[in-house]
Amino acid sequence: MTILRRRLLQSLPLLSLVAAKPQSSDGGVTTTDLVLNCDTAAAPALARAADRFRERTGVQVRIFPTSPGLLLPQLTRKVQNDLLFTQGPIMAAAAA
């Protein structure tokens, strides 16, 4: 399945929706950083989106580009991932 660059860039605003900085009125802990694992090809575009997200919210997004074939094994081994950005078939396999 080929992902068009335009489609990828259109989905980048989802990063800010999925990982919005929590607003705590009771003095509780707020998020200061997030971990995002993604396909290696998506890393440059996601890094730019993460920079903008950090500018707006103060939340650092740490990006770990990974081969698509290694994302599912990481999930099964419970590697810390706050966000996962990959191809549709891999996400479907992860959900299954």
Tell me the longest C-alpha to C-alpha distance in the chain.
Answer: 46
pTM above 0.85, yes or no: no
CA dihedral 46, 6, 85, 51 (to 10 degrees): 20
What pLDDT is recorded for position 18?
A: 53
- Strand runs labelled E in the chain: 33-39, 60-66, 83-85
Whole-angstrom Cα distance, residue 36 to residue 21? Answer: 15
Phi, psi of 56 (to 5 degrees): -80, -35
| Structural domains of the chain in order of their starting residue, each with its CATH number | 31-95 (3.40.190.10)
State how far the Cα of 46 lies from the Cα of 52, in Å rounded to an integer. Answer: 10
Give the tens place of pLDDT for each residue, 57-89. 888 999 999 888 888 888 788 887 888 888 888
